[in-house]
Amino acid sequence: MVHFNFGKHFVKYIKIIFYIALVFINHNSVYGSEFKLPDKFGPNDFDYGIINHFIGSGQKGIITAFKGAPEMRGTELQLSYYIKEGQSFIGEYLIGNYLEKKIELKIFCILNYHQQEYYFNDKKGEVHVIELEPKERKIYPFKINLPHKGAYDFILLAVKSSDFVNQINIDVLYHRANIFAGDTAYPNTDYHSIGEKTALSNFDFILFLNKDSSMDNNFQPVVSEAISKQSEARYFLHTNNNQDITITSILLAFINYKQVRFMTDKVFFYTIPPKRRGVLKVDFSPYIQKGNNEILILNIENPYVDMEIRGKENKMNQILTGVKAANRLTLTYQ
């Protein structure tokens, strides 16, 4: 699947996503109540037909792809992987820069909505930085150790560094899949219900930080601020659901691309009813360090659900999900 995002300057950011889709599935109907590894190994290579088609089109953008190693037993859509308990998850990440200027990307990985250390290009860390010149394309080896038996929502994210991107319209490049390590059971969780006000009719969905608690008059996100006290690092996060369905999502917060506590925990699970909007108080003061602090909040739709379902004629079906970013805030603590 090829996905297009249009930023402020109408630059197209293109992702090849072998497993970005999201649907609900009952695994017991496919494999039975006992976990069993599929006999068939996963795909051996990237879909270079799609990759070369994009390159040949002459379009400007960034192209990314991810695939698990064949022994990860990925599905054809690369939406689900089945491995043994204790087995490391390994794969490859392809990224190509087809913009007219050099780019720098921060790459980080989430398992069940908690940031993890992992190996990228044979180096271990939570955040990996890569640079690509125009028309440069690379493939990086990837490896992560899974902490325990169970089902995982795996998300690999790439965000352009602040010097290379508009701070309000942030395109998050991501790949998302299920990893089933000896089991198909997800953790249980509780959700907070937000949405105390009527939705704004001119926004289907919004997510931004500023200093205004009302959101009635001020729709301007804060993208930079200098403070002299840590206690000044308090903001309001605004979200709006003008759709006809309830939104079920999570919120994650990062400072300098390292995950920090958001509200009561590192992961904030929430629902917002149709035609409602909500405002959350966010306090970053315990995590602010001297100098520049880049604050990024991510909204991940539909947590803890399976990514594909077997439909008519044994065909696997998929629907889109999303990872959206609020405005990135550069906070200077003097």
SS3 letters across the chain:
CEEEEECCCCCEEEEECCCCECCCCCCHHHHCCCCCCCCCCCCCCCCHHHHHHHHHHCCCEEEEEEEECHHHCCCCCCCEEEECCCCCEEEEEEEEEECCCCEEEEEEEEECCEECCEEECCEEECEEEEEECCCEEEEEEEEECCCCCEEEEEEEEEEECHHHCCCCCCCEEEEEEEEEECCCCCCCCCCEECCCEECCCCCCEEEEEECCCCCCCCCCCCCEEEECCHHHCEEEEEEEECCCCCEEEEEEEEECCEEECECCECCEEEEECCCEEEEEEEECHHHCCCEEEEEEEEEEECCCCCCCEECHHHCEECCECCEEECCCEEEEEC
pLDDT at 201: 83
Residue 2 pLDDT exceeds 60: no
Which class does domain 2-181 fall in? mainly beta
Percent of the chain with pLDDT over 90: 62
Residue 282 pLDDT exceeds 60: yes
As a whole number, mean pLDDT of residues 296-313 equals 86
pLDDT at 17: 39
Percent of the chain with pLDDT over 70: 84
pLDDT at 216: 66
The CATH architecture that domain 192-333 belongs to is Sandwich (2.60)
Q: Which of 50-54, 110-114, 138-142, 268-272 is the least confident region?
A: 50-54
One-letter amino acid for residue 102 of the chain: K
Strands 268-272 and 192-193: parallel
Backbone angles phi, psi at 268, to 5 degrees: -110, 105
Taking Cα atoms as reference points, which of 120, 194, 109 lies closest to residue 152?
109
As a whole number, mean pLDDT of residues 280-294 equals 93
Residue 237 pLDDT exceeds 90: yes
183-221 per-position pLDDT tens digit: 999 999 999 999 988 998 877 888 889 988 876 655 678
Q: Are 2-181 and 192-333 the same fold in CATH? A: yes
Domain ranges of the chain: 2-181, 192-333
Question: 308: Cβ–Cβ under 8 A, 6 or more apart, which residues?
Answer: 19, 21, 23, 25, 75, 77, 79, 80, 316, 317, 318
CA-to-CA dists, residue 278 to 41, 60, 157, 206, 298, angstroms? 45, 37, 26, 10, 16
pLDDT at 317: 67
As a whole number, mean pLDDT of residues 97-123 equals 96
Contact 160, 102 (CB under 8 A): no
125-168 per-position pLDDT tens digit: 999 999 999 999 999 999 999 989 999 999 999 998 866 555 66
As a whole number, mean pLDDT of residues 77-99 equals 94
pLDDT at 280: 93
Q: What average pLDDT does the structure give for the chain?
A: 85
Encoded tokens for 317: 């079906």
